[in-house]
Chains A and B, each alone.
Chain A
């Protein structure tokens, strides 16, 4: 898959001396959903702002659709739709007027059919004549998305798209984003909700303290870094572990009714086979077992802590 965005050696130092980005390299593949994760102040919004033209880079180069964002900014920016984190709206404009304004701003000829489709897709059609000030927070968020989609962008940036949005609406938005991906739009989203990245993304990038810590396919990442937990439900409670099982670092839970064993799927040996053999030898029997994989959230917290 070819890159639609290519970020090379990008750095950003603010006037205060704060280094928001440190030599960032990143390639976004055409047609993918890329989730950028990071704690507050990690540099997510700065990175998006630079790519979209809102902030100036201190160093480095960004190509969007093969066009340099500085020397060929018209072509580069016309490919991008941006939904910023904050709800910035013209309070006294109607939904229809503000979305049409965005299309004009991007140099596209009037196309009421397209605006109608966007508003209908986002369940805003019946609000098209309402002033934005009268809309709820969730609706305003969707107006922002409609504005970003008004000029038929190939790339959509969603900076914390579901922050402050209720669960039902969030799921509705995921549907919209999936639909956009199917229509060929590349989507880059930043989020605090790990669940969102886990649900939506094809690839995941983790940024911390201005540095890209990791970029990986979501499934590979979860397999590669995911620890698994084996829980054994014992036939009878035991008071303590026999000496022969000490080196497995097992945890005895539920007053001795379950045994928990954490293992690394990356490791050459998981130790499960020998553990089960040693349990049998020690006379400990179980009537059920289950394994669980650590969530992306666990992986993320681990990464941020160690980087």
Chain B
């Protein structure tokens, strides 16, 4: 194992975060605070409790997931796309480093950033609404699992994209709608039966449901199903990445 190479990539990527602190950390925190102001205070005050929890408190796990999902994808996709764009990928490909180690460096850094961000948003939320986490270990486990899985997904997008437009396309057109429709701001029990069935096809529902359960023991689907679905997505991402490196897809001629 070339642990020095993993460390080099990891630290390089983390250094990029500190260089772009405003964009990486401050911007998501500001936008999440605005969600609390709009949905929690302004609109939330007119909504009765959701399954025994005030609306402002109810949306906290969903809001954290919203940022963690989008930032994991953005961080990882940009992390691997940028060396492809500038051409510096030649150095990664010609170094004595395995594909697994490359993924570990890039995805590890992207996931770390998202986890830090998730925890910052959690702390920010604590300033707006009272928080109580029933299962902190599960909460952290879900946070890490989601950050890693979606960083892997972002890595795939970064490899697949051959232009900045494509890099934005999947996060903008697929992930953001799925996240908004995944129960960030409501329980899917509030939906009419038909839409509830449709909602269950959305993988984000399982993530948010499991994550919310770790906070309030409120869930749209069972915890086992949530973990199972997330792990299934993780495995799919791993298989795709394995295939990318085996074939050299969009990396090697």
Interface residues of A (CB under 8 A from B): 14-15, 49, 52-56, 73-78, 80, 82, 84, 86, 88-92, 97, 101-109, 147
Confirm or deny: B231 has a beta carbon within 8 angstroms of a beta carbon on chain A.
Answer: no
CB of B86 within 8 A of CB of A52, answer no
Asked if B2 and A107 make an inter-chain contact with CB atoms under 8 angstroms apart, the answer reads yes
The 4 closest A-B pairs by CB, nearest first: A104-B8, A88-B87, A74-B96, A77-B96
A110 to chain B: closest residue by CB: B4
Q: Is the CB of B94 within 8 A of A82?
A: yes
Q: A102 to B91, Cβ gap below 8 A?
A: yes
Q: Which of B5, B19, B94 contacts A104 (CB 8 A)?
A: B5
Number of interface residues of B (CB under 8 A): 25
A/B pair count, beta carbons within 8 Å: 75
Q: Nearest-CB distance from A108 to chain B (Å)?
A: 7
Q: Are B248 and A89 in contact (CB-based, < 8 A)?
A: no
Scoring B residues 132 to 163 as 1 if CB is less than 8 Å from chain A, else 0, what string do you get?
Answer: 00000000000000000000000000000000
B90-A54 in contact (CB<8A): yes
Give the residues in chain B near A52, CB-CB below 8 Å: 93-94
Nearest residue, chain A, Cβ from B19: A92
The SS class assigned to the B binding surface is: helix
Whether the pair A105, B9 counts as a contact (CB closer than 8 A) is yes
B237-253, CB under 8 A of A: which get 1 and which 0? 00000000000100011
- Provide the bound-state CA to CA distance between A75 and B2, in Å: 11
Q: A56-B252, A105-B5 are in contact. List 4 more A-B contacts (CB 8 A).
A: A14-B253, A54-B90, A55-B252, A88-B88
Smallest CB gap from B86: residue in A: A88
Q: Are B86 and A54 interface neighbours, CB within 8 A?
A: no
Is B174 an interface position by the 8 A CB rule?
A: no
Interface residues of chain B, those whose CB is within 8 Å of chain A, are 2, 4-5, 7-9, 11-12, 15, 19, 86-88, 90-98, 248, 252-253
Nearest A residue to B98 via CB reads: A74
Instruction: List A contacts of B94 (CB < 8 A).
Output: 52-54, 77, 80, 82
Can you list 8 A-B contacts (CB < 8 A)?
A: A14-B253, A49-B253, A55-B253, A88-B87, A104-B4, A106-B95, A107-B5, A107-B97
Contact A86 B87 (CB under 8 A): yes
Interchain nearest-CB distance for B243 vs A (Å): 15
Q: In the complex, A14 Cα to B248 Cα: how many Å?
A: 13
Q: Could you say which of A54, A56, A86 has the most chain B C-beta atoms within 10 Å of its C-beta?
A: A54
Cβ-defined contact, A88 with B96, below 8 A: no
Report whether A89 and B86 are in contact in the complex, using a CB–CB cutoff of 8 Å: yes
Given A54-B90, A82-B90, A86-B87, does the pair A106, B253 have CB atoms closer than 8 Å?
no
**A105 pairs with B15, CB closer than 8 A:** no
- Chain A proximity of B91: nearest CB distance (Å): 6
The answer for the CA separation of A97 and B248 in the assembled complex, in Å, is 28
In the complex, residue of chain B having the shortest beta-carbon distance to the beta carbon of A88:
B87
